[in-house]
Amino acid sequence: MWGKYLKTLTVLTFLIFIAGCVTAPKKPDESEIKALEDRISLLEAEVLKKNSEIINLTNALEKEKQEKKELLATVNKQKEQIEGLTEAIQEQKRKARSKTYYKTVMKVQTALRNAGFDPGTIDGQMGPRTREALKEFQKANGLPADGSLDKQTWALLQEYLETKK
């Protein structure tokens, strides 16, 4: 039993010896504390500055997003207007071609009638009677009789427009 106490006593003595060897932490002096406080103040000021920059950048980003949204709306509106105008122009071209076609067919019918080939009613429509009269005119003038208005046929027909106005 004494051996157990002796062991415990030896361990306690050893621990006291070690504890005495360990030095207590050095207490910082006031100048070191002041330097650290100053450094903390500078760091806090930098954090505030960076936060301000982040807020400004966030606001600028939001403003740019809004401007982009407005520009996209304007572009889409202009795109719709362009599509509408393009459609209107195409419709006018169709009408102009339709009028041109109508007038050309009327001239062809008039020229055929003046040349002695009956196209039927002069109505601006390239119907079966007009095609048949055109074929007969082409055959009579030594042209391929296909009933279509080619350059040669039109050149010959124009002579009958000028003479019988």
What's the confidence (pLDDT) of residue 21? 56
**CA-closest candidate to residue 117, choices 131, 101, 102:** 131
Residues in the chain: 165
Mean pLDDT score across all residues of the chain? 86
User: Which residues, other chains included, contact 143 with Cβ-Cβ below 8 Å and sequence gap of 6+?
Assistant: 150, 152, 153, 156
What's the confidence (pLDDT) of residue 96? 73
What's the confidence (pLDDT) of residue 121? 92
What's the confidence (pLDDT) of residue 13? 74
Rounded CA-CA distance 159/60 in Å is 75
Tokens standing for residue 70: 């407005």
Rounded CA-CA distance 101/105 in Å is 6
What's the confidence (pLDDT) of residue 77? 92
Rounded CA-CA distance 133/152 in Å is 16
Tokens standing for residue 102: 């109508």
Residues of the chain with pLDDT under 70: 1-3, 5, 9, 11, 17-26, 163-165
User: How far are the Cα atoms of 14, 18, 26, 62, 162 from residue 21, in angstroms, in the given order?
Assistant: 11, 5, 14, 63, 132
Taking only the tens place, the pLDDT of each residue in 10-55 is 767 777 766 665 555 667 789 898 999 999 999 999 989 998 999 9
Rounded CA-CA distance 31/101 in Å is 102
What's the confidence (pLDDT) of residue 73? 92
**CA-closest candidate to residue 164, choices 111, 103, 98, 128:** 111
What's the confidence (pLDDT) of residue 165? 45
